[in-house]
């Protein structure tokens, strides 16, 4: 399946009533190592889980993390190592690292010029399951790309956002994958803005061997202001999930 990671929601067992809200703290981590950002996600996830368990969710908040990573390939726990097509010596040559993760799905690439978003949401408060959550992420990205006159769409049977999905020229512009841990979402989406696409040549992205990848820069033939794209996407996500930023 075309996922970074998808796990069923495991709801926390709550025996008391609590005030549900969409209060969300948006944090831009700038350029940060993948493992460092992953550890930070885990930390925030534990904090939010604890708040839900002890009945203090009303005083807590969800999180929306934005980040760019240095060149890195990540492989999910169910991924095939053979989908990384180069060895460690070559990775050193191109300045990339490799990281095994605890998510599901196969291999993907992150690097500078790519906007990565990690929402940490208590999905019960948003009244949605994993499928609806992913669909909201996809819709937010599609609406944002439409603002740049990029006609994006879904591909039947695949997760993420695509261009010309119903043609042999199908190519992915945004990968989406989530993990839900005790009701809290983790991981998220990776949108290619000014991404160096040659780095995808060294993997079978998400396990696909017959699908291409693209970026906003490639489609528009122009380097974009990534901060403006980020703000646009932030707004679309806020609307899709009815977020109340704090």
Active site residues: 206
| Strands 244-245 vs 171-181: parallel, antiparallel or unpaired | unpaired
Query: d(Cα 131, Cα 178) in Å, to the nearest integer?
Result: 10
Judged by DSSP in three states, 238 sits in helix
Compute CA distances 150 → 69, 110, 145, 157, whole Å: 24, 22, 5, 22
- CB 125: neighbour CB atoms within 10 A? 17
Q: Which residues, 6+ apart, have CB-to-CB distance to 84 below 8 Å?
A: 73, 75, 98, 107, 202, 203
- As beta bridge partners, residue 227 has none
**Element (DSSP H or E) covering residue 63:** strand 62-68
Q: Torsion-angle region of residue 71: left (phi > 0), alpha (psi -120 to 50) or beta?
A: beta
H/E element, 146 = helix 130-146
């Amino acid at each position: 399946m075309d996922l970074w990671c998808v796990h069923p929601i495991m709801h926390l067992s709550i025996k008391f009533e609590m005030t549900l809200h969409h209060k969300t703290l948006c944090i831009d981590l700038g350029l940060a190592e993948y493992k460092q950002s992953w550890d930070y996600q885990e930390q925030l996830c534990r904090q939010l889980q604890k708040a839900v368990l002890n009945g203090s969710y009303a005083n807590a908040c969800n999180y929306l993390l934005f980040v760019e990573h240095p060149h890195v390939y990540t492989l999910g726990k169910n991924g095939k190592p053979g989908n990384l097509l180069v060895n460690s010596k070559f990775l050193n040559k191109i300045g990339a690292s490799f990281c095994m993760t605890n998510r599901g799905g196969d291999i993907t690439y992150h690097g500078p010029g790519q906007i990565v978003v990690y929402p940490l949401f208590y999905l019960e408060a948003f009244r949605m399951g994993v499928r609806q959550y992913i669909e909201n992420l996809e819709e937010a990205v599609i609406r944002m790309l439409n603002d740049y006159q990029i006609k994006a769409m879904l591909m039947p049977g695949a997760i993420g956002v695509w261009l010309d999905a119903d043609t042999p020229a199908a190519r992915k512009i945004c990968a989406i994958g989530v993990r839900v841990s005790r009701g809290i979402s983790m991981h998220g989406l990776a949108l290619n803005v000014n991404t160096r696409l040659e780095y995808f040549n060294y993997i079978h992205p998400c396990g696909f061997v017959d699908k291409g990848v693209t970026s906003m820069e490639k489609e528009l033939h122009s380097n974009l202001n990534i901060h403006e794209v980020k703000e646009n996407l932030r707004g679309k996500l806020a609307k899709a999930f009815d977020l109340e930023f704090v």
